[in-house]
Chains A and B, each alone.
Chain A
Amino acid sequence: MAIIERPAPGTTVVPALTPAPPAITPTRTYGALRRPVAATGWKSWLFTVDHKKIGLMYGATALFFFVVGGLEAVLIRLQLAAPEGKVLNADLYNQMFTMHATTMVFLFVMPMAAGFANYFVPLQIGARDVAFPRINAFGLWCLIAGGIVVNLAWFLGGAADGGWFMYAPNSGPVFSPSHGVDFWALGLQIAGIASLMGAINLIVTVLNMRAPGMTLMKMPVFTWMITVVQFLLLFAVPVITVALFLLTFQRRFGAQFFDVAAGADPLLWQHLFWIFGHPEVYILVLPSFGIVSEVLPVFSRKPLFGYPFVVFSGAAIGFVGWGVWAHHMFASGLGPVSVAVFSIATMAIAVPTGVKIINWTLTLWGGKLVFTTAMKFAIGLIILFTIGGLSGVTHSVAPSDTQQTDTYYIVAHFHYVLFGGAIFGLFSGFYYWWPKMFGKMLNERLGSWNFWLMVIGMNLTFGPMHILGLQGQPRRMYQWTDARAGEGFFNLAFWNLVASIGSLILTLGILLFLINIVVTARNKARAPLDPWNARSLEWMTSNPPKEHNFDSIPHVYHLDEFFHRKYEEDAATHTMREVATAEQVLAELERNADKHIHMPSPSYWPILLAAGLPIVALGLIYSIPVAIVGGVVMLYALYGLALEPSVAVDSDFEPSANGASGNGHAVGASHG
C-alpha cells in the first residue's frame, strides 16, 4: 500500500500502476511501533486500513465460512436422507445444526453484507474512505477472531449444541456439558464488537461524508438499505451482548439467570435473544434488497420504480422489525394479549415488504430486460423471497403457528427468505460487482449454470420441507423411522430423499461458482470500464478503483448521477440519448484531479487489538491469568491506537516537501 497517492494521467481504462513510492522511514510516534509502509505483499493486507481491501477480506472470510457452513448442511441432509441415518450420531448432529446456522448467519451472510457495504458505500456516496478506517480494520479482525473462537470448539471437546438460539435449559451445563457453548457465547460476543464498530463507522460515513450535492434522497438504494441495517445493528447488538454475558456468567461464574430450578424465568433468554434476533432477520435480508434494487434498474434500462417508496419501505421494515420479536415465541405461553399484538404487528410488516416486491416488479415492467446472471439472481430473489414471505404470513396467524412451531415448515420458510432472499441477492451482487472489484467479468456461461443449479437445488431442498413440516416432522430430530413415515403423496421418506438430493444439486451449483472464480482469475481479458451501462457513482471510477477512489470528488446533481452524466433527455422526443461515454466522464474527473490526496495510513494497532480478544476468551474458559494477559495486550494496543495519528505526518508522505501538504486536499477520511 502506497502511503501517498497521486492521480496518474491516462488511467481511464487500466488502473494506474502507482510509481514505486520513495523509500520512507516512518516517523516514530511515542516510542511505539513505527508505521507499516509495505505497499505490496501480505503486510499490505494485514495492516491495511483501505476500505476496499477490508471489504475484500470480509468477503473472502465470509466465502470460506459459507463453504464450512454448506458442508455442515450437506452432512445434515445426508443424515436425514434415509431412515435411521447413521452418518452422524445424535451429539454430533446437534453440533452440526447449531453450527450450520451460527456459521451461515453470523459468519457468512452478515460479513458478506459487511464486505459489500465496506467496498461500495464509500464509492456510492463519492467518498475516499470510511469515517474511521482503523476502526474498520479492527472490525474485520474482530470478525475473524470471533469466527475462529466459535469454531475452535470443534477441536476442543465439541462445538456448541443447543441450537442457534440456544434456549435454556439446552444452554446449561446439564444438557451441554462441553465447552462448546462457552466458545459460542464468547465468539459471538467478539463478532458482535465487529458489528457494533462497523455500524457506528458506516452510519457516520453515510451521514457525514457524502459528496457535495448528494442529499439523502439522492443516495443509491444499496447505501440506504445498508444504513438502515447499521441502525438495526447499533441497537440490536447490545441486547445480544447482554444475553451472552448473562449466559457466560451463568456457565463460568455460577450465576443462575436461566436456571428454572433456582427460580429463574427461561423466557428472559428468549426475549433477549429475539429482541436481537428478529431485527437480525432484517439485518440479513435488507442488504440483498439493496443489491437487487441496484441490479434491476440497470438491467431493465429504466430507473427504479418509486425510489422514495423503496427507501421508506426499507426504513419501515427496519422500524416495525423491532415490534415483532415475540412471534418466535407464540408457543411459549405469552398470554392472549401479547400474542394478538405481535400477531398483528407481524402481519403489518408484510406490507412494506410487499411494497418493495411491487416496486421491483414494476421496475421490470416495460423495461428492455437484459438477462445477465446478476439479473437472473435478482429476479430469482423476487420470486423465491415472495414464496418465503407468504409462508411467513401464515406464521403470523398464531393458532396456525402453534401447530408449525419447531417443524420443518419453519425450516422451509426461513430458508426461502434467507437462501432465496439474502443469498440470492448476494450472488446477484457477486456477478454485478465482480468487474468493479477485480477488473474482470465472471464467466456468464458458468454463471448461468450456477444460477439454474442453485434455483433447482434450492427448491428441491426446501420446497419439500413445507410438506414434511405440515405432516409433523420436527426440526432438530437426528433420525426418523420408516414405520412412522406415512404413505402416498405425504410419505416422509420420499420427500426427505428429494430434499437431500436437492441439497447435492445446490452444492454443485455453488461449486460452479467457486470454479467460476478460479476460471475468471486465470482469464487475461479485462472488463470494460462500464460493462453493464450502470447508473450509480461506484462505476464512475476505474476497475478496480484506485486507492483514493476518485481523482476528484464529483458534484452530485441527480439520483443515478453517473447515468445522467452519460445520457440527457432529448426535449423534442422525450427519449434519452447518449451525450458522453463512461470514458469521457472519467476523463473529465481526471482533468480536475486533486493535487495532493492524503489517504489514511496503514497501522499495526487494529489487528493487535483484535488479537487480544481470543486470548481473553480462551482465558475466561480455561484460566483467568491468560485472560489478564490478553487484556494487557489490548490495553497496550489501545494506547498505541490512541496516540497514533491516523494520517501520517507530512514528512512521511513527501520527505522532500515538508509541510507543503497543508495546502493539499484533505481527505474526508483523515479523521480516522
Chain B
Amino acid sequence: MAETAVARAEHVALAEHGAHAEPAAHVTSTGLSNVKLGMWLFLGSECLLFGGLISTYMLYRGRVSNGPTPVQVYDIPFTSVSSFVLLMSSLTMVLAVSAAHKHDDRGTNLWLTVTALLGATFVGGQVYEFTAFYNEGLGFTTSLFGSSFYTLTGFHGVHVTVGIIMLLALVAINNRSRVPGSKSETVETIGLYWHFVDIVWIIIFTLVYLIPV
C-alpha cells in the first residue's frame, strides 16, 4: 500500500495546488505556499521510510542461505547505465521547471514527457534486472538477502512509477490547459518529488551495489 499512499499524497498535493484559485491573493506566514511546504514535509517523512528499508537491507545483505550472493547476481555496468539515465531525468525535470517559469507550455510538456520517458527507461531496466536475478535463482523468498533486496529496490521502483504517472497526468491536464492556479508551482512541486526519488537512488546504488559485502 505504500505505493498507493505515495500516489495519494502526490496527487492530492497536485490537487491542492490546482485549487490555488488566486495565487497572489493570500500570503502565508512563511512565504512558502501550503503545497510546497506540504511536499517538503512529506519528503522528510519519506526519508525515514527509506531509512528503515535501507537498514533492513544492510542488516540482511550477507544472509544468502543457499541462494546466490550479491556479487554473483549484480551486474554493475548495467545498473550504472540505468542509474545514469535516472540521474539525467533530474536534469530534464529542471528544464521542465525552467520552461514552466517562462510560461513556455510546449517546452514544459516536452521536458516533462522526456523526464517520464527516462524514468520509464529506468523502471524497464529494473524489471529486466529483476527477471535476470530471478532466473539466476534469486527469488523473493530465496533468502533474507533476496527478500530485503527486492523490498528495498521494489519500493524505490514503485516511487519512480508513481512519479511517471504524475508527470504524464500533468502533461495530459496541461495539454487541455486545465492546470488551475500557478502552473509553474505545480511543475516545481512534482519536481521536488522527482529529485527526491533520484537522490534516494544515489544512496541505494552506493550502499546496495557498490559497497562489497
Residues of A within 8 A of B (CB): 30, 131-132, 134-135, 138, 186, 189-190, 193, 196-197, 199-201, 203-204, 207-210, 234-239, 241-243, 245-246, 249, 253-257, 262-265, 268, 272, 275, 609, 613, 616-617, 631, 634-635, 638-639, 641-647, 662, 666-668, 670-672
- Chain B residues lying within 8 Å of A135, measured Cβ to Cβ, are 12, 16
User: Is the beta-carbon distance between B141 and A253 smaller than 8 angstroms?
Assistant: yes
User: Is the beta-carbon distance between A670 and B56 smaller than 8 angstroms?
Assistant: no
Q: Is B25 an interface residue (CB 8 A)?
A: yes
User: Is the beta-carbon distance between A642 and B11 smaller than 8 angstroms?
Assistant: yes
Interchain Cβ contacts under 8 Å between A and B, 21 examples: A186-B1, A189-B1, A208-B37, A234-B45, A235-B44, A235-B45, A241-B49, A245-B151, A257-B148, A262-B143, A617-B1, A634-B8, A639-B169, A643-B15, A643-B18, A645-B180, A666-B22, A668-B28, A670-B19, A671-B16, A671-B26
Expressed in whole angstroms, the Cα–Cα distance for A202 and B68 within the complex equals: 47
Interface members, chain B 45-59 (any A CB < 8 Å): 45-46, 48-49, 51-53, 56, 59
User: Is the beta-carbon distance between A200 and B7 smaller than 8 angstroms?
Assistant: no
Return the contact of A671 from the options B11, B35, B140, B178 (Cβ within 8 A): B35
- Chain B residues lying within 8 Å of A264, measured Cβ to Cβ, are 60, 63, 144
Expressed in whole angstroms, the Cα–Cα distance for A253 and B18 within the complex equals: 39
Given contacts A208-B29, A671-B20, contact A641 B147 (CB under 8 A): no
User: Is the beta-carbon distance between B19 and A646 smaller than 8 angstroms?
Assistant: yes
Expressed in whole angstroms, the Cα–Cα distance for A631 and B162 within the complex equals: 14
Return the contact of B56 from the options A201, A253, A257, A647 (Cβ within 8 A): A257
Expressed in whole angstroms, the Cα–Cα distance for A36 and B6 within the complex equals: 27
Chain A residue with the shortest CB-CB distance to B49: A238
User: Is the beta-carbon distance between A131 and B45 smaller than 8 angstroms?
Assistant: no
Expressed in whole angstroms, the Cα–Cα distance for A242 and B11 within the complex equals: 22
Expressed in whole angstroms, the Cα–Cα distance for A491 and B12 within the complex equals: 59
Expressed in whole angstroms, the Cα–Cα distance for A670 and B22 within the complex equals: 9
- Chain B residues lying within 8 Å of A263, measured Cβ to Cβ, are 63, 65, 144
Expressed in whole angstroms, the Cα–Cα distance for A644 and B28 within the complex equals: 23
User: Is the beta-carbon distance between B141 and A255 smaller than 8 angstroms?
Assistant: yes
Expressed in whole angstroms, the Cα–Cα distance for A257 and B1 within the complex equals: 18
- Chain A residues lying within 8 Å of B4, measured Cβ to Cβ, are 613, 616, 631, 634
Expressed in whole angstroms, the Cα–Cα distance for A6 and B4 within the complex equals: 39
Minimum CB–CB distance from A102 to chain B (whole Å) comes to 19
Minimum CB–CB distance from B193 to chain A (whole Å) comes to 13
- Chain A residues lying within 8 Å of B38, measured Cβ to Cβ, are 131-132, 200-201, 204
What's the interface size class on B, roughly? 35 or more
Chain A residue with the shortest CB-CB distance to B39: A200
Q: Is B71 an interface residue (CB 8 A)?
A: no
Expressed in whole angstroms, the Cα–Cα distance for A462 and B16 within the complex equals: 47
Minimum CB–CB distance from B48 to chain A (whole Å) comes to 4
Q: Is B211 an interface residue (CB 8 A)?
A: no
Expressed in whole angstroms, the Cα–Cα distance for A189 and B1 within the complex equals: 8
Residues of B contacting A: mostly: helix
Given contacts A241-B2, A256-B141, A670-B26, contact A642 B56 (CB under 8 A): no
Residues of B within 8 A of A (CB): 1-2, 4-5, 7-9, 11-12, 14-22, 25-26, 28-30, 32-35, 37-38, 41-42, 44-46, 48-49, 51-53, 56, 59-60, 63, 65, 140-141, 143-144, 147-148, 151, 169, 173, 178, 180
User: Is the beta-carbon distance between B147 and A238 smaller than 8 angstroms?
Assistant: no
- Chain A residues lying within 8 Å of B26, measured Cβ to Cβ, are 666-668, 670-671
User: Is the beta-carbon distance between B144 and A672 smaller than 8 angstroms?
Assistant: no
Given contacts A264-B60, A642-B169, A647-B19, contact A208 B52 (CB under 8 A): no
Return the contact of B19 from the options A193, A210, A235, A672 (Cβ within 8 A): A672
User: Is the beta-carbon distance between A199 and B41 smaller than 8 angstroms?
Assistant: yes
Chain B residue with the shortest CB-CB distance to A271: B55
Minimum CB–CB distance from B151 to chain A (whole Å) comes to 7
Expressed in whole angstroms, the Cα–Cα distance for A207 and B35 within the complex equals: 12
User: Is the beta-carbon distance between B34 and A255 smaller than 8 angstroms?
Assistant: no
User: Is the beta-carbon distance between B34 and A193 smaller than 8 angstroms?
Assistant: no
User: Is the beta-carbon distance between A239 and B12 smaller than 8 angstroms?
Assistant: no
Return the contact of A243 from the options B21, B41, B51, B52 (Cβ within 8 A): B52
- Chain A residues lying within 8 Å of B28, measured Cβ to Cβ, are 207-209, 668
User: Is the beta-carbon distance between B1 and A671 smaller than 8 angstroms?
Assistant: no
Expressed in whole angstroms, the Cα–Cα distance for A262 and B35 within the complex equals: 45
Minimum CB–CB distance from A600 to chain B (whole Å) comes to 8
User: Is the beta-carbon distance between A237 and B45 smaller than 8 angstroms?
Assistant: yes
Chain A residue with the shortest CB-CB distance to B46: A238
User: Is the beta-carbon distance between B15 and A257 smaller than 8 angstroms?
Assistant: no
- Chain A residues lying within 8 Å of B59, measured Cβ to Cβ, are 265, 268
Chain B residue with the shortest CB-CB distance to A603: B15
Minimum CB–CB distance from A1 to chain B (whole Å) comes to 17
Expressed in whole angstroms, the Cα–Cα distance for A297 and B201 within the complex equals: 51
Minimum CB–CB distance from A129 to chain B (whole Å) comes to 11
Expressed in whole angstroms, the Cα–Cα distance for A634 and B60 within the complex equals: 34
- Chain B residues lying within 8 Å of A666, measured Cβ to Cβ, are 21-22, 25-26
Closest 7 CB pairs of A and B: A242-B52, A646-B19, A238-B49, A208-B28, A255-B147, A642-B15, A238-B48
User: Is the beta-carbon distance between B52 and A239 smaller than 8 angstroms?
Assistant: yes
Given contacts A668-B26, A670-B21, contact A208 B34 (CB under 8 A): yes
User: Is the beta-carbon distance between B29 and A210 smaller than 8 angstroms?
Assistant: yes
Instruction: With a 10 A CB-CB cut-off, give which of A262, A634, A672 has the most chain B CB atoms.
Output: A672
User: Is the beta-carbon distance between A249 and B12 smaller than 8 angstroms?
Assistant: no
User: Besides A238-B45, A275-B52, A646-B15, 7 other CB < 8 A contacts?
Assistant: A209-B28, A234-B45, A245-B2, A264-B63, A634-B8, A638-B11, A671-B35
Given contacts A646-B16, A671-B20, contact A207 B37 (CB under 8 A): yes
Minimum CB–CB distance from B190 to chain A (whole Å) comes to 12
- Chain B residues lying within 8 Å of A262, measured Cβ to Cβ, are 65, 143-144
Minimum CB–CB distance from A643 to chain B (whole Å) comes to 7
- Chain B residues lying within 8 Å of A132, measured Cβ to Cβ, are 12, 16, 34, 38
Instruction: With a 10 A CB-CB cut-off, give which of B14, B32, B147 has the most chain A CB atoms.
Output: B147
User: Is the beta-carbon distance between A249 and B19 smaller than 8 angstroms?
Assistant: no
User: Is the beta-carbon distance between A200 and B42 smaller than 8 angstroms?
Assistant: yes
Expressed in whole angstroms, the Cα–Cα distance for A255 and B148 within the complex equals: 9
- Chain B residues lying within 8 Å of A134, measured Cβ to Cβ, are 12, 15-16
User: Is the beta-carbon distance between A207 and B30 smaller than 8 angstroms?
Assistant: yes
Chain B residue with the shortest CB-CB distance to A601: B19
Minimum CB–CB distance from A572 to chain B (whole Å) comes to 38
- Chain A residues lying within 8 Å of B5, measured Cβ to Cβ, are 193, 196, 241
- Chain B residues lying within 8 Å of A203, measured Cβ to Cβ, are 37, 41
Expressed in whole angstroms, the Cα–Cα distance for A241 and B33 within the complex equals: 28
User: Is the beta-carbon distance between B52 and A672 smaller than 8 angstroms?
Assistant: no
- Chain A residues lying within 8 Å of B17, measured Cβ to Cβ, are 671
Expressed in whole angstroms, the Cα–Cα distance for A666 and B34 within the complex equals: 14
Chain A residue with the shortest CB-CB distance to B14: A642
